[in-house]
Amino acid sequence: MPSLGVNIDHVATLRQARYREQPESHNAEPDPVAAALIAELAGASGITAHLREDRRHMQDRDIFLLREKITTKLNFEMGLSEDILRVALAVRPEDVCLVPENRLEVTTEGGLDCAGRLDVLAPAIARLREVGTRISLFIDPEESQIRAAAALGADFVELHTGAYANATGAARDKELHKLMEGAALACELKLRVNAGHGLNYENTTAILVLPGLEELNIGHAIISRAIAVGLHAAVREMCDLIDRK
């Protein structure tokens, strides 16, 4: 049965909206680390956080505190910059998920181009492996990208579900079929399968049938739902939805 990783980036986004110049102030709120602990108590199997190069939401201090405080696992999302790589090597998260990063985007807009960046990704992955971190690559469900992930020796692929989440009707069915085929190929190549991006309380159920699916990483929908019902309840609702598979 797939587990739930809760992405807490948008808790930090709300904090930064008011405390951008003083995120470490004693009264800067909401606290993403406190949110992570609530998510764990509600049933999350891990916490996902993306430290962006421009530090638009999560800050370095947040990542180090997460490493210290959470009791499940830390899935550290990161772009491929030396600055962020140094943080990952110091923090030693259980999982690192390498993602593309564009400073102008509101959220991650597509999968990582593994096939076109083998020469850049391979040495970074080797350095992360030296500190015992498992490697996940956030990619579109395309054969070339999945085969490249296998060639790089990744532990996981996290299939980008954004196109599926944004589609409706027959188009959504087509995107789900692509995800199914991508997950099946990943399993054939001995890659473990995660998925995420744009998933919510309405569209997640269909994703649960992906071959080999181990974990869903969901953030925005849960934090949005928390405004109405509270974070513990919002996480619990998503866990229950997944458990009903």
The residue from 77, 101, 142, 215 that is catalytic is: 77
β 213-218/156-160 pair status: unpaired
- Give the integer Cα–Cα distance in Å for 126 and 111: 21
Q: Which pair of tokens denotes residue 36?
A: 């992570």
Residues 6+ apart with CB under 8 A from 21: none
pLDDT at 105: 46
pLDDT at 245: 66
Find the DSSP H helices in the chain: 9-19, 32-41, 60-69, 82-91, 118-129, 143-151, 162-166, 169-188, 204-207, 220-229, 231-243
Give catalytic status of residue 24 as yes or no: no
pLDDT at 111: 86
Average pLDDT per run of 10 along the chain, which is 245 residues long? 96 92 82 98 98 94 97 96 96 97 56 91 96 97 97 97 96 98 98 98 97 98 98 98 88
Give catalytic status of residue 160 as yes or no: no
Domains of the chain and CATH, by start: 3-243 (3.20.20.70)
- Give the integer Cα–Cα distance in Å for 112 and 99: 6
The residue from 10, 40, 50, 175 that is catalytic is: 50
Task: Enter the DSSP assignment of 178.
Answer: H
pLDDT at 106: 45
Give catalytic status of residue 220 as yes or no: no
pLDDT at 27: 82
Does the bond joining 123 to the residue before it have cis omega, within 30 degrees of 0? no
pLDDT at 20: 83
The residue from 40, 160, 197, 215 that is catalytic is: 197
